[in-house]
Amino acid sequence: MKKYNNNILKAAGFLLCFGGTVATSSVMAAESPACDTCSGGMFEDWDVRLSGYARTYFGLGLEDHAETPENDQFDFTMARGTLLLDWGLDTGWAFFKMINRYDRELETDYIDSIKNQTSLNPSGALLQGTAIRGQYLDQYNTDHLQEFFREYYVDFGLFDDKLTVRVGKQQLVWGESDFFQAMDLVHGFDYRWRLFFEDNQDWRKPLFLVNFNLDLYDELGGTLNFFVRPGLDRDDDVGSNFNIEGGRWIPHPYRGVDFTAFTQYNADHTDGSQDDPTFGVRWNSTIGSIGYSVAYLRTFNPAPIMNPAQGAGGGPSGTSALFGVTEQFSFGEVAQNPVLGDWIYPHINVFGVSANGYSATIDSTLSAEVAFIPNKPFNFGSLRSSLPGWSGVKTKDTLVTMFRIDKEFKLTKWLGTNRPSLSSVQLFDTWILDHNDSDEIVEFASFGAQKREHTAYLTIFSLLNFKRDTINPTFVVGTDLSNGGGFGIAAVEFVFGDDWRVKVEADLFWSDGDEKKTAGNGTGLTGPCTTCLNPLGTPENDASLFDWFADDNQLVLKITRQF
Amino acid sequence: MYKKVLVTSLVSLGLLVGGPLSATAEEMPEGTIISAENLDKVIDMTFEGKRVGDMLPGKYEWMIRNHHLKIPVRHSEPVPMDPKYMEWTQKSKETVKFNPSDRTVSGWEAGMFFDPQDIKMDDPHAGDKLIWNLRGPTYGATMDLRHISWVFLDAHKGMERIQRWWAQRYYMEGRLDGGPISEGDGTILQKTVLVATYPQDIKGLGIFSIRYNDPTAQTPDDTWAYLKSVRRARRLTGNAWMDPIGGTVQLYDDWDIWDAVPTKYKSTTLIGRQWIFAIAHAPLMTVDLKYKNTIQEFPAVGMDIPPHFFPAPQVQWEPREVWVIEGIPPDEHPYSKKTVWMEVDYPRPYYGEALDQNGKFWKSFIFQNRRDVGDDGYLATMPVVGHIIDWKAEFSTTWSSNMKANPAGVEADDVTLKKLISIAR
């Protein structure tokens, strides 16, 4: 609680500084120059700009989900409203930016259904009288100051702008990859409300950074970007959210299960404390016409890792043992949660290189990215239990590689597009260098499929533009080459004048049939249960990423009024 | 008696024959608005001694008769170029060499590559030489396309939407702003940043491109797009030079009606020299921010008059003598042919036309130009409004800008990818 208040105070302090600077400036009162010949162009001196949008989203599930007794097909899974305000103030010597976002959701029939399920299953029973869980709208709604003040920072230059500095809550994006992250690891992502379909600026989790850019074009032909995250963020702001708290995007068969009922996030872990600074440095330059970057980054492991609870004497906790876990080892320190353990985001070091260039021979743009992560943490063990991966944490040297070809196809003659269509093929591979089957490493704790030496995803997208970019279809297909399954997105956006945008999207998944099934008996937390399902499903060893979302085909309608 | 009859007959004959001639010789008054209503009446009149009909090039007459183009006429007025520009043009005569085998040039430092006074109609390379002139810095070493907006205009419905952009082009060669003539290591001709600022969904979408100083045009442009939606710069194809700008009907290659160096095209041919009505003295105010987001913001475009995309009635046209140059782009280009009508004394395009891949008339380009004095005193003549009209779609994206030559304080480091990202924030 103390920490929570501290964060509010930190934010308030920053806002006071921001507001105070603006309010106390006499220049603020000056009229904007009416201008034919005034200097500037983009922002005139002391120019304030406000833009943004009001947006509504509707998600419609296309399939029934086994976890709930109701037929969920054609139920609304999402009814969301968003107001975004994008402020910019240029004072000449500094640029202030603030992005406010306010989200609100209605409780749809589907959310209501999984909420009911939460109250029926053992996790809900466990929580009677202890805490309020399964309040799924909490994770979607804006209910904290720092969520509303999504980004706020000031830019200024030093030494004749040779060094530019950005201080405040912001997004810093490194790397080249689409859909997946190799070097784009400064921030975590919030996969809870929309999985990975939105523009990633909307689900990246901004952090408070002090971010420097040193211009060394004249001396060395490039720029040096380095940053420090001093550790002023909320615990909730680090790492990615995989919907452990339950909701519409927790993987199957866990709809209706709130894992925070018997686990907890721990942002104070010795090896992954939010309070500890993280930092990075990146050199960005060109060799001839080849652009390249070299970077080092200390950050949080993007996926949460389970640090399992231990029972007396160092064995599995009582609850874990009940679910078939035979051995458990703490990672660094003993988990705070005595039932099943803590979700932590251990610190990792990332060494990355990226390159891009255009080949006239094949008229294509080529991009590549390699990131080496020594000692990357993975959960392992207890594959045949109801809690696979819950034995503890192993670290492995990991190499992430991306290679991509972008090409523009001139389809005007055949399809009537108004400009060349950008198409892209990307191969994204994660290679565990000293992989050994006996390590029993899993992709994510709770799913028993062993992580292979290589996990490779192939993605293809194509963007089409018709009628001067007023009708814009997009097609995306991705597949897991290592484990099977994949996803497809077919979307079309309609542009109406300056103000209105409407997007219709079909998100489709397929799997290779290895989905983890819900279990029909209630072996688990409260002993035999004839009226509910085992929330942890049937033990299995096969479900991989696209099996988790096998029944999640959906339609989404997005209507935006921008200003 | 016979003599009297003979004289009378000769006079009558003279009246019969000379009548029409004297009618064509009638001078059309300044201020006349050439339109579909009076075109038949004025077409054989003269203006400044030239037949009016002969000063309506390409599709002018078709646009007047069928699409309500109106041309208010004023007398022509010389537009002298900056003395430094002309001095360097004379110096270039001693150093610039044209290589007919590959259509490249060498030895250029500043000014025009070739003195237009020396260009002859029978020179088989005249087209290349004139387009080389166009591809140097023609209106200042640094171009600030201040307040530039593309307005999407439907011929039947009028204004559809507005896109606002921020753009600067910085020439690394041929600079006549008082600093070095050449900056950098000589490998780069120019750098351009173009960033959308409105509306919200494209705000922050931008392009940074480098065009190399390679007369063969074999070195592709380096182009990056910044996509604010993912907060990342992405390398683009080196062929982006022939792509449309955003969702507009204008290609990057239509930047100055003709943006490519001659060697990017299969051929460029000088096909004529003529007088045309053109806009060389556009209004001083072409974007009036007091009326933002209304058609009054763009006083030089007649947006309230169907077909909504021609120059406004206040814009006056005057006789200008031009070269007519025809270019055949590479096969992958959207056009099969582009024709430009460009001032004879200096490289300033007034009008252009483009044919589609089937050889059918597709687009016309009407550019409004005017004098601007740079912050350093440089005398520049530059386009401030560009009417790019897609006749197949009966749609135009017409841009307007309070263009500025050689803005003070802009340096090479201000037109970079870093700058693009900074503006796109």
Inter-chain contact A499–B413, Cβ cutoff 8 Å? no
Burial of B109 (0-12, 13-18, 19+ CB in 10 A): middle
Whether residue A118 contacts residue A124, with contact meaning beta carbons closer than 8 Å, is answered with yes
Please tell me if residue A56 touches chain B, with a CB cutoff of 8 Å.
no
User: SS3 for A217?
Assistant: helix
pLDDT tens across the length of chain A (563 residues): 344 444 443 443 433 333 333 333 333 333 333 334 334 444 455 788 899 999 999 999 999 998 888 899 999 999 999 999 999 999 988 999 999 999 999 999 999 999 888 887 655 555 444 444 568 899 999 999 999 999 999 999 999 889 999 999 999 999 889 888 999 999 999 999 987 777 889 999 999 999 999 999 889 989 999 999 999 999 999 999 999 888 999 999 889 888 888 899 999 999 999 999 999 999 999 998 899 999 999 999 999 999 999 877 777 777 788 788 888 899 999 999 988 999 999 999 999 999 999 998 999 999 999 999 999 999 999 888 888 999 999 999 999 999 999 999 989 889 999 999 999 999 999 999 999 999 999 999 988 899 999 999 999 999 999 999 999 999 999 999 999 999 999 999 999 999 999 999 999 999 988 888 776 544 444 455 555 556 677 777 888 889 999 899 999 999 999 99
User: Which amino acid is it at B104?
Assistant: T
Q: How many CB atoms lie within 10 A of CB A81?
A: 13
CA dist B88 and B174 (Å) reads: 9
Residue A247: name the closest of A134, A343, A340, A128 by CA: A134
Positions of chain B with pLDDT under 70: 1-25
CA dist B316 and B281 (Å) reads: 7
pLDDT in tens, B261-287: 999 999 999 999 999 999 999 999 999
Whether residue B213 contacts residue B187, with contact meaning beta carbons closer than 8 Å, is answered with yes
CA dist A111 and A152 (Å) reads: 32
Inter-chain contact A215–B413, Cβ cutoff 8 Å? yes
Please tell me if residue A223 touches chain B, with a CB cutoff of 8 Å.
yes
Whether residue B223 contacts residue B306, with contact meaning beta carbons closer than 8 Å, is answered with no
Burial of A163 (0-12, 13-18, 19+ CB in 10 A): middle
User: SS3 for B118?
Assistant: helix
User: Which amino acid is it at B267?
Assistant: S
**Nearest-CB residue to B249 (from A356, A468, A560):** A468
**Nearest-CB residue to B235 (from A88, A356, A563):** A356
CA dist A391 and A321 (Å) reads: 11
Total count of residues recorded for chain B: 425
Q: Are strands A500-510 and A486-496 parallel, antiparallel or unpaired?
A: antiparallel
pLDDT in tens, B312-322: 999 999 999 99
CA dist A344 and A35 (Å) reads: 55
CA B37 to chain centroid? 28
Please tell me if residue A146 touches chain B, with a CB cutoff of 8 Å.
no
Tell which phi-psi region holds residue A159, choosing left (phi > 0), alpha (psi between -120 and 50) or beta: left
Burial of B326 (0-12, 13-18, 19+ CB in 10 A): middle
Residue to test with chain B: of A198, A498, A562, most B Cβ within 10 A: A498
Q: Which helix (H) or strand (E) holds B149?
A: strand B149-154
Strand partners, B171: B190
Whether residue B279 contacts residue B310, with contact meaning beta carbons closer than 8 Å, is answered with no
Q: What contacts B117, CB < 8 A, 6 or more positions away?
A: none
Inter-chain contact B160–A497, Cβ cutoff 8 Å? yes
User: Which amino acid is it at A294?
Assistant: V
Whether residue B136 contacts residue B270, with contact meaning beta carbons closer than 8 Å, is answered with no
- DSSP letter at B9 equals H
Please tell me if residue A95 touches chain B, with a CB cutoff of 8 Å.
yes
Whether residue A377 contacts residue A397, with contact meaning beta carbons closer than 8 Å, is answered with no
User: SS3 for B89?
Assistant: helix
User: Which amino acid is it at A99?
Assistant: I
Q: What are the tokens at B70?
A: 């109106």
Q: Is the dihedral of CA A325, A328, A331, A332 positive or negative?
A: positive
Residue to test with chain B: of A31, A39, A286, most B Cβ within 10 A: A39
User: ipTM of this predicted complex?
Assistant: 0.87
Inter-chain contact A360–B413, Cβ cutoff 8 Å? no
Inter-chain contact B224–A97, Cβ cutoff 8 Å? no
Inter-chain contact A497–B236, Cβ cutoff 8 Å? no
Burial of A556 (0-12, 13-18, 19+ CB in 10 A): buried
CA dihedral B201, B204, B205, B208 (to 10 degrees): 170
Inter-chain contact B224–A560, Cβ cutoff 8 Å? no
Q: In Å, how far is B406's CA from the nearest CA of chain A? A: 11
- DSSP letter at A30 equals S
pLDDT of residue A320: 80
Burial A304-325 (b: 16+ CB within 10 A, else e): bbbbbbbbeeeebbebbbbbbb
What's the whole-model pTM score? 0.87
Please tell me if residue A361 touches chain B, with a CB cutoff of 8 Å.
no
Tell which phi-psi region holds residue A440, choosing left (phi > 0), alpha (psi between -120 and 50) or beta: left
Size of interface A-B (CB pairs under 8 A): 139
CA A68 to chain centroid? 27
pLDDT of residue A533: 53
Inter-chain contact A155–B422, Cβ cutoff 8 Å? yes
Q: Which residue has the tokens 């390679």?
A: B214
Burial of A240 (0-12, 13-18, 19+ CB in 10 A): buried
pLDDT of residue A11: 40
The chain A residue lying nearest B404, using CA atoms, is A37
CA dist A340 and B73 (Å) reads: 86
Residues of B in contact with A563 (CB under 8 A): 200
Residues of B in contact with A159 (CB under 8 A): none
Q: In Å, how far is A357's CA from the nearest CA of chain B? A: 7
Report A:470-489 residues touching B (Cβ under 8 A).
Answer: 470
Whether residue A409 contacts residue A346, with contact meaning beta carbons closer than 8 Å, is answered with no
- DSSP letter at A241 equals B
Q: Are strands B232-235 and B222-227 parallel, antiparallel or unpaired?
A: antiparallel
Q: In Å, how far is A365's CA from the nearest CA of chain B? A: 6
Residue to test with chain A: of B143, B149, B162, B237, most A Cβ within 10 A: B237
Burial A111-121 (b: 16+ CB within 10 A, else e): bebbbbbbebb
User: SS3 for B227?
Assistant: strand
Whether residue A77 contacts residue A64, with contact meaning beta carbons closer than 8 Å, is answered with no
Inter-chain contact B200–A51, Cβ cutoff 8 Å? yes
CA dist A92 and B271 (Å) reads: 51
Inter-chain contact B289–A563, Cβ cutoff 8 Å? no
CA dist B286 and B368 (Å) reads: 10
User: Which amino acid is it at A180?
Assistant: F
Residues of B in contact with A34 (CB under 8 A): 289-290
Q: Is the dihedral of CA A238, A90, B235, B228 positive or negative?
A: positive
Report A:500-529 residues touching B (Cβ under 8 A).
Answer: 501
Q: Are strands A341-344 and A264-265 parallel, antiparallel or unpaired?
A: parallel
Residue B211: name the closest of B280, B158, B257, B259 by CA: B259
